[in-house]
Amino acid sequence: MKRKIAILGSTGSMGVQALEVIEALPELLEVEVLTANANADLLIRQAKKFRPNAVVIVRDDLYSYVKEALWDDDIKVYAGADALPQIVTMDSIDIVLATIVGVAGLKPVYSAIEAGKRVALANKETLVVAGELITKKASENGVDIYPVDSEHSAIFQSLAGEFHNPIEKLIITASGGPFRGKSKDFLATVKKVQALKHPNWQMGNKITIDSATMMNKGLEVIEAKWLFGVPVDKIEVVVHPQSIIHSLVQFQDGAVKAQLGLPDMKLPIQYALTYPARFQNDFPRLSLTDCASLTFEKPDFEAFPCLNLAYQASKKGGNAPCVLNAANEISVAQFLNDEIGFLDIPRQIEYALSVFPFSKPTTIDEYLEIDKEVKLLIANKK
């Protein structure tokens, strides 16, 4: 039977690639729901091509535009952020692919888990912000969460057939971003046009800036903690500029397993949607003889303090990772709007972690309220 997919964030980079994966496997995968925040024109084109049952445009003011464009296509159209956690509960959906960037993915993912849907997760923030709550609910409902991030997919693939064997260490690889090897003095003057030039990957602006600050690795460390049940002091980050080895697992006997591949998100997307089977595709193949060398370095915690801040927040627990994520989201937005400098991003995150009251949230709404309060704190910071 075909697996019917709901793509949350279909107009983003990951969503577009997911549609290419689905298009190449028409016998197995089918689009059931598409959602977008504001890119109405692309959402309309996708809907006309893939013929989903329903679409959601989060921006309410674009509802009429999308509705009119799809009037003759027999596609249901909904609008507003509240439609996301509702649409994922549709009986016809088999898999929810969450590619929404930021805390906006939290409610719909939680709702999908409550509804017993299989989740393919490309939204780091869901587990960073509320990992304990999300994994508990998934366990209670018997819901499997399949990682789509290349690093976590690599760990997941390396653990195939090994889930009964104790893990000694997870090793998450990092490209180092556009500023690998640069000093803090250099970073003090960089502009967004420089930070948005990732050497290996094509990603959205927010994720690309997270790569430049290395916060993306910090978020991945926290996410890996919840996905694989490994404490953060057993999760290591290693800089691997070629982005060929996507991550590794070291077992208690010292054996290390890794997953290798070209920097291409389509493979982890397909694996999450088709697991446990692997299907033929036309993705570019890795040739080891074409790789001049594979090198590895320790991360520079001094020049890139965001990574260390993430470790600290995860060890502290409670609302600290939520505070970290919220402060990072608004700081990255401010940097992209030319309101603050590059090194102000970790400074503002450290400030938020130091002054925001510690708590242990127990509901999604509590996490979302903390997210709002932290963002107000940073926005009002003089």
- What lies within 8 Å, CB to CB, of 135 at 6+ separation is 127, 145, 226, 227
- Helix and strand numbers (H, E) in the chain are 16, 11
Domain ranges of the chain: 3-147, 153-263+284-316
36 contacts 56 by C-beta, under 8 angstroms: yes
> Binning pLDDT at 50, 70 and 90, where does residue 124 land?
confident
Superfamily name with CATH number, domain 3-147: NAD(P)-binding Rossmann-like Domain (3.40.50.720)
pTM, two decimals, is: 0.94
> What is d(CA 229, CA 26) in angstroms, rounded to the nearest whole number?
35
- Could you report the per-residue pLDDT of 247-294, keeping only the tens digit for each? 999 999 999 999 999 988 999 999 999 999 999 999 999 999 998 899
Tokens matching residue 325: 């994520």
230 contacts 188 by C-beta, under 8 angstroms: no
Residues 121, 122, 126, 128, CA torsion sign: positive
Strands (E), the chain: 3-8, 29-36, 54-57, 76-79, 95-98, 118-121, 145-147, 167-174, 235-239, 245-251, 256-260
Q: Is the pLDDT of residue 90 over 70?
A: yes
Of 348, 341, 350, the C-alpha closest to 380 is: 348
Percentage with pLDDT > 70 across the chain? 98
Inter-CA distances, 103 with 236, 238, 327, 346, 368, Å? 25, 27, 12, 19, 8
Predicted local distance difference test score (pLDDT) of residue 200: 65
Predicted local distance difference test score (pLDDT) of residue 216: 94
Predicted local distance difference test score (pLDDT) of residue 203: 67
> Binning pLDDT at 50, 70 and 90, where does residue 111 land?
very high
Which amino acid type is present at position 233?
D
> Binning pLDDT at 50, 70 and 90, where does residue 215 land?
very high
- Could you report the per-residue pLDDT of 323-355, keeping only the tens digit for each? 999 999 999 999 999 999 999 999 999 999 999
